[in-house]
């Protein structure tokens, strides 16, 4: 078993780390405070092919593998979880389904602007009554000649406030529940009847917008159908598997930032005449953080490796997402505890890390749903 990274993977990791340290980390607190979308950073990431890492070069991407994607996303999320969320959605939830299910013409039209960072993509699945249960989806799509007419409202859409392109789930066969769902890819700037609704005020990842998408007799060209009609649910399941690898990577990145901050502070903070790293209580907290984060990163890399090698990775992705997000939340709580009063103040980034960490246990499938996915795979012998 070889744990060594390839030269290309190391290059991508180092490139992402340099960008994160020099251009993202210095402005992360300001972006969070101002709820500001990092447009220039996203553009720079696109130029470096980080917004479409696994997209073939033919379609404007980096032509690399998913292990490289994980390594880069960890570094970006370590500097700014919001930027990591934008990168994750762009790669996993927009580029992947277009790449996997689109025609050559759709790929040529809908991938280069997003994979290149010129435009941002999003994935519109969730609704007020359809989160963990997609059978509650109400958005409809009815064919009218050479167009589809779409009606409905999407909720909690990451990057929805700034996205120019979207993959949207809608019912094309009412009464069939999830079996009647189809996927559509569209240029939102050229979709009459579409508008952005409420932009949410959130606990964390504040530089990543979360918005309602409203479709009122929105007209989409007939060739906007992604893949075959009524295959949207199957597409969604596979897309979310990759998305969970992305969120696991984001969580690991946040956790790494927590550990670095806690360790740096503990080395210089003195109590009773000596640094608090000399106290066993602090040492054990740091040791647990480091061990669990290493395990989470290895689980995430395993899921990415399985995907790259064409092997089943649904269970591995769910395990990585669940474990990494739980581990990072624990680390963030302990990180605040190590910093004490300073950990509760915005002067230090630790409180931001704690706020950012929580969402990783919720989106791309709650961790309760992850446990169901894992259990179902075990029961079926997968």
**C-alpha span between 333 and 286 (Å, rounded):** 12
* Catalytic-residue membership of 364: yes
**C-alpha span between 158 and 192 (Å, rounded):** 21
Q: Is the dihedral of CA 128, 129, 131, 136 positive or negative?
A: negative
> At CB < 8 A and 24+ separation, what contacts does 342-347 make?
342/265, 346/29, 346/33
Alpha helices in the chain (DSSP H): 7-19, 28-34, 39-47, 66-79, 81-88, 96-101, 104-110, 112-115, 232-268, 280-308, 314-339, 350-358, 367-379
Helix (H) or strand (E) holding 144: strand 140-144
The number of C-alpha atoms within 13 Å of 51 and in the hemisphere containing its C-beta is 28
- DSSP labels, 241-289: HHHHHHHHHHHHHHHHHHHHHHHHHHHH-EETTEEGGGSHHHHHHHHHH
**C-alpha span between 19 and 45 (Å, rounded):** 8
Helical axes 232-268 vs 81-88, angle rounded to 10°: 160
| Contact between 275 and 266 (Cβ < 8 Å) | yes
* Residue tagged active-site, from 75, 261, 297, 364: 364
* Active-site annotation, residues: 364
């Amino acid at each position: 078993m070889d744990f060594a990274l390839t030269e290309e993977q190391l290059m991508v990791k180092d490139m992402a780390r340099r960008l994160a340290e020099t251009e993202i980390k210095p402005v992360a607190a300001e972006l969070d405070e101002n709820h500001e979308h990092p447009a220039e950073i996203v553009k720079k990431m696109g130029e470096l092919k980080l917004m479409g890492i696994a997209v073939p070069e033919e379609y404007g991407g980096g032509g690399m593998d998913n292990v490289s994607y994980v390594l880069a996303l960890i570094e970006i999320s370590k500097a700014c979880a919001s930027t990591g969320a934008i990168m994750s959605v762009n790669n996993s939830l927009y580029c992947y389904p277009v790449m996997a299910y689109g025609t050559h013409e759709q790929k040529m039209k809908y991938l280069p602007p997003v994979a290149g960072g010129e435009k941002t993509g999003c994935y519109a699945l969730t609704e007020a009554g359809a989160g963990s249960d997609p059978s509650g989806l109400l958005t409809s799509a009815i064919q009218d000649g050479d167009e589809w007419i779409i009606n409905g409202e999407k909720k909690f859409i990451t990057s929805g406030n700034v996205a120019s392109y979207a993959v949207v789930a809608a019912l094309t066969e009412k009464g069939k529940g999830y079996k009647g769902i189809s996927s559509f890819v569209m240029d939102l700037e050229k979709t009459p009847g579409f508008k952005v609704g409420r932009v949410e005020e959130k606990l964390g990842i504040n530089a990543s917008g979360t918005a309602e998408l409203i479709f009122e007799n929105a007209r989409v060209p007939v060739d906007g159908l992604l893949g075959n009609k009524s295959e949207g649910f199957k597409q969604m399941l596979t897309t979310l598997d990759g998305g969970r690898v992305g969120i696991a990577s984001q969580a690991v990145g946040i956790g790494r930032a927590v550990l670095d901050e806690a360790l740096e502070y503990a080395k210089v903070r003195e109590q009773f005449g000596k640094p608090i790293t000399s106290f066993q209580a602090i040492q054990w907290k740091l040791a647990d953080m480091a061990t669990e984060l290493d395990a989470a990163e290895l689980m995430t890399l395993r899921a990415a490796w399985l995907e790259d090698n064409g092997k089943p990775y649904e269970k591995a992705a769910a395990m990585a997402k669940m474990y990494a997000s739980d581990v990072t939340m624990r680390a963030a709580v302990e990180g605040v505890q190590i910093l004490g009063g300073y950990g509760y103040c915005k002067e230090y980034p630790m409180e931001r890390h704690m706020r950012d960490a929580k969402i990783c246990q919720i989106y791309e499938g709650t961790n309760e749903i992850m446990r169901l996915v894992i259990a179902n795979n075990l029961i079926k012998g997968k």
